[in-house]
């Protein structure tokens, strides 16, 4: 992997970190608010069903988390497991893809 | 008049149990020595006593003995330190010392580490000045009060002792990582207004082998005997290499 | 090795461990939510499962991990993007405090 691409990955991780910082604060506040008095599917879905706002928010959240997490796992794999090179790059892409697919599926599940 | 048997003798000198790593590149083991413990004793005094009175085959490094050259750096009870500046009283709480060669470097023999890769990475990080002026031109005027010069001055006292390199976990986990000292030096040059190699240097220090692998553990800053902060320098390099990041995005 | 006791080192460990834990938790989180595709009752069934004490304790730990990772991340962004400040230990402590407050708020709400 070229140095430029490595810098690009690092930058992408910091950029998604900024996006996630906003998303996580919103998510934490939502969780703490929603969890009072127990959590039911009805409550969740009443908030998210048909909501373009929530749909957009969670989609952005999912994609940012997938990119951020995949790049992070790549670093941990390299430093703590010694996994580098093509195997690591493919692994990172697969992790990102998996998180994106399962995540967007979840968004569709609660918004559609 | 007191007889010889009644005269109080000198108090017995307390002993220090010292475990010293012995061996070479193929491996080794710790060997125990008992060393008399004296007031104001430094770890260098201890190692020197072992080599002069107990085992002349022990190999170790020192030069100035007064905390100026950094040659005596080694692992003392698991932490990289200058032995000439480490008082035994400060590190041997239970009268035991463990000495080993500087971590993260190949071993030559016993307490002597091979500093080759340390300086080779220094060169790889473009840690050398490149100017454009000739002797025909007047002296460069650099105001010491400018922000850039203050950043450079904060890091130029580095004497290349290798303590930060030995303390850094990333160096241990990533064989290509240039390390705190090399990156710190690069940062001082990035801030030198007379230097002409800024672009090459920023390229050299970017990426997984460079500043972008620093996770701000700050072990370098904690252990530097000259109280420098390579973490600070590396953070500066991360900001300075933004231009490379933007170029990479444009290329992609 | 005795090079690891200082504050910044612990900040790193917490940040990395929480990050890995969250990355491993996310697929399960997404999968559970995805059960809503089978309708409200399916999601409700999953939510009932999460009412067990062990799961509730696990959720609390996850909220702590998320808050800790957020706080650590903000600290890193400050260290890397803003001009250097010498009070990083304060940043790390503030981060830890935030994580605890968020965890407490969650525990009380639950």
* Neighboring chain A residues of C40 at a CB cutoff of 8 Å: 41-42, 45
Rounded mean pLDDT, B172-179: 97
Other C-beta atoms closer than 10 Å to the C-beta of A112 total: 11
pLDDT of residue B5: 57
CB contact under 8 A, C26 and A65: yes
Rounded mean pLDDT, A38-46: 80
Per-residue confidence band for B108, with pLDDT thresholds at 50, 70 and 90: very high
pLDDT of residue A41: 80
**Residue B4 scores a pLDDT above 60:** no
Half-sphere exposure of C80 (CA within 13 A, CB side): 23
CB contact under 8 A, A21 and C77: yes
**What are the angstrom distances between the C-alpha of B146 and each of B17, B84, B195, C81?**
51, 36, 16, 20
- What is the CATH classification number for the domain harbouring A21? 1.20.1300
**Residue B55 scores a pLDDT above 90:** yes
pLDDT of residue C29: 92
Per-residue confidence band for B119, with pLDDT thresholds at 50, 70 and 90: very high
Rounded mean pLDDT, B189-194: 96
Q: Which tens digit of pLDDT belongs to each residue from A55-98?
A: 999 999 999 999 999 999 999 999 999 999 999 999 999 999 99
Domain count, chain A: 1
pTM of the shown model = 0.90
CA distance B6 to chain C (A): 48
List the one residue out of B108, B112, B88 whose CA is nearest residue B100. Answer: B112
Could you please state the CATH topology (level 3) that the domain comprising B116-251 is classified under. Answer: Fumarate Reductase Iron-sulfur Protein; Chain B, domain 2 (1.10.1060)
pLDDT of residue B94: 78
Subunits with 3+ Cβ pairs within 8 Å of C are A, B
Mean per-residue pLDDT over chain A, rounded = 92
Enclosing domain of residue A76: 2-111
| For chain B, percent of residues with pLDDT exceeding 90 | 87
Decide if B214 touches A, using CB distance below 8 A: no
List the CATH code of the domain at B15-113: 3.10.20.30
Q: Is 0.85 exceeded by the ipTM? A: yes
C19 three-state secondary structure:
helix
Instruction: Report the residue from B173, B206, B208 with minimal CB separation from A80.
Output: B173
């Amino acid at each position: 992997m070229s140095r430029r691409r490595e810098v690009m990955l690092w930058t992408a991780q910091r950029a998604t970190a900024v996006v996630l910082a906003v998303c996580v604060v919103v998510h934490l506040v939502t969780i703490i608010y929603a969890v009072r008095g127990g959590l039911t599917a009805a409550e969740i879905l009443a908030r998210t069903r048909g909501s373009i706002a929530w749909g957009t928010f969670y989609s952005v959240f999912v994609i940012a988390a997938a990119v951020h997490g995949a790049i992070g796992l790549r670093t941990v794999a390299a430093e703590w497991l010694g996994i580098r090179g093509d195997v690591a790059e493919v692994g990172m892409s697969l992790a990102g893809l998996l998180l994106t697919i399962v995540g967007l599926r979840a968004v569709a599940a609660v918004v559609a | 008049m007191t007889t010889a048997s009644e005269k109080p003798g000198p108090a017995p000198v307390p002993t220090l149990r010292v475990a010293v790593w012995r061996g070479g590149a193929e491996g080794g083991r710790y060997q125990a020595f008992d060393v008399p413990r004296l007031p104001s004793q430094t770890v260098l005094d201890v190692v020197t006593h072992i080599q002069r009175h107990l085992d002349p085959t022990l190999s170790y490094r020192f030069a100035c003995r007064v905390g100026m050259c950094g040659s005596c750096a080694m692992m003392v009870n698991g932490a990289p330190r200058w032995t000439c500046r480490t008082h035994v009283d400060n590190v041997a709480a239970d009268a035991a010392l463990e000495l080993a060669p500087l971590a993260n470097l190949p071993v030559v023999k016993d307490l002597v580490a091979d500093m080759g890769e340390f300086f080779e990475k220094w060169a790889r990080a473009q840690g050398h000045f490149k100017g454009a002026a000739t002797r025909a031109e007047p002296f460069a005027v650099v105001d010491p009060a400018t922000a850039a010069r203050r950043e450079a001055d904060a890091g130029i006292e580095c004497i290349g002792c290798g303590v930060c390199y030995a303390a850094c976990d990333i160096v241990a986990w990533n064989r290509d990582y240039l390390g705190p000292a090399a990156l710190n030096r690069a940062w001082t040059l990035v801030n030198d207004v007379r230097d002409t190699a800024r672009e090459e240097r920023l390229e050299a220090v970017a990426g997984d082998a460079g500043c972008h692998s620093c996770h701000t553990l700050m072990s370098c800053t904690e252990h530097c005997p000259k109280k420098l902060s390579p973490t600070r320098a590396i953070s500066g390099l991360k900001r300075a290499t933004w231009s490379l990041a933007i170029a990479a995005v444009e290329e992609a | 090795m005795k090079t690891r006791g200082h504050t910044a080192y612990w900040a790193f460990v917490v940040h990395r461990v929480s990050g890995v834990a969250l990355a491993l938790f996310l697929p399960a989180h997404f999968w559970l939510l995805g059960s809503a595709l089978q309708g409200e009752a399916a999601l409700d069934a999953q939510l009932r499962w999460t009412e067990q004490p062990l799961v509730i304790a696990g959720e609390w730990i996850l909220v702590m991990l998320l808050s800790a990772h957020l706080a650590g991340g903000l600290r890193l962004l400050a260290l890397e993007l803003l001009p250097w400040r010498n009070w990083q230990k304060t940043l790390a402590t503030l981060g830890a405090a935030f994580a605890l407050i968020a965890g407490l708020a969650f525990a009380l709400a639950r």
